[in-house]
Amino acid sequence: MDKTVNPAAERIHHRICPLCEACCGLEVRTRGTRITGIRGAEDDVFSRGYICPKGYALKDLHEDPDRLRTPLVRRNGELQPASWDEAFAEIERRLLPILAAHGRDAVALSVGNPSAHKMGLLLYFNRMAKALGITQDGVSRLEKRSDLLLSTLRKSVQAMGGTLSLVAEFPDRDPVVLSGIADDDAGDKVVARRHAPA
C-alpha cells in the first residue's frame, strides 16, 4: 500500500483547542501543511461542535508571519534563531551562575495558557520547580489548586459515563475510597468508605 500523502488531498485532524480550560474539540482541515479550515468537532463529548472565536482563529495564529517557529538566543545584543540544543545550552550557561550567586530564590516561574489547563504540562511544571529548588511561597498557588484539576478530571470521567473516586491506600489497614471529589456542589460532603479487599 502506498503510504505517501497526496499534498492536494484534504485531510481532517481532530484536536483539542489549547487556549483555555474548556478544551473544546476541533476539526482541523488541511491540504499539505496549509490549514484550510477549523470548526468545532460535532462528536466531542464536551463542546459538541461549539468553539469560540479564539478556537476559530487558531488558523490565523498558525499562519501569522510573526509567530515564533524556533528558539531565539540573544547574540551581540540581537535575537538570533537557534536550535533547541543551543537554546538549552545557553540557559544552562547563564542560569547556573545566577543560582550560584543569588540562591534558589533568584528564579521564579510563571505559567499561563495553554500550560495552566493541561494536566500533563502542569505535572511537568511542578517537577521543574522542584528540580530548580524554588522555595518561593507564591510560585504556584494556582497550580496547587488541586480542586481545579480534579474538577476537570471529574467532568472528563463523567462525560465517558464513569464516576471519579480516589483510593487512599495505607500499609496497615484496608484502602479507603473517597467519592464526591471536586463535585461542583459537594462542599464538605466528600464521602469515605472502606474499599472491599480484592
C-alpha grid cell for residue 124?
Answer: 511537568
How confident is the model at residue 22, as a pLDDT?
A: 81
How confident is the model at residue 5, as a pLDDT?
A: 63
What is the domain partition of the chain in residue ranges?
10-63, 72-132, 146-194
Distance CA 19, CA 55 (A): 7
Q: Which residues contact 187 (CB under 8 A, 6 or more apart)?
A: none
How confident is the model at residue 84, as a pLDDT?
A: 95
How many other C-beta atoms can be found within 10 angstroms of the C-beta atom of residue 111?
19
Please give the backbone phi and psi of residue 123, each rounded to the nearest 5 degrees, phi first.
Answer: -65, -40
Give every strand in the sheet of 25-31, ordered side by side: 10-16, 25-31, 34-40
| Domain 10-63 = CATH 3.30.200.210 | yes
DSSP collapsed to 3 states, 65-92: CCCCCCCEEEECCEEEECCHHHHHHHHH
How confident is the model at residue 36, as a pLDDT?
A: 94
How confident is the model at residue 192, as a pLDDT?
A: 47
- Given a contact cutoff of 8 angstroms between Cβ atoms, the answer to whether 150 and 165 are in contact is no
- Given a contact cutoff of 8 angstroms between Cβ atoms, the answer to whether 26 and 38 are in contact is yes
- pTM across the whole model: 0.53
- Counting beta carbons within 10 angstroms of the beta carbon of residue 153, is it exposed (0 to 12), middle (13 to 18) or buried (19 or more)? middle
- Given a contact cutoff of 8 angstroms between Cβ atoms, the answer to whether 58 and 40 are in contact is no
For residue 40, CA distances in Å to 19, 60, 181 come to: 14, 16, 30
Each residue's pLDDT tens digit in the chain (198 positions)?
445 667 678 899 999 888 887 889 999 999 988 899 999 999 998 889 999 998 989 999 889 999 899 999 999 999 999 999 999 999 999 998 988 898 877 887 777 766 666 667 777 777 787 788 776 554 445 445 555 566 667 777 777 788 777 777 788 888 877 776 555 554 444 444 555 544
- Given a contact cutoff of 8 angstroms between Cβ atoms, the answer to whether 35 and 63 are in contact is yes
Distance CA 21, CA 35 (A): 24
No. of helices (H) and no. of strands (E), the chain? 5, 8
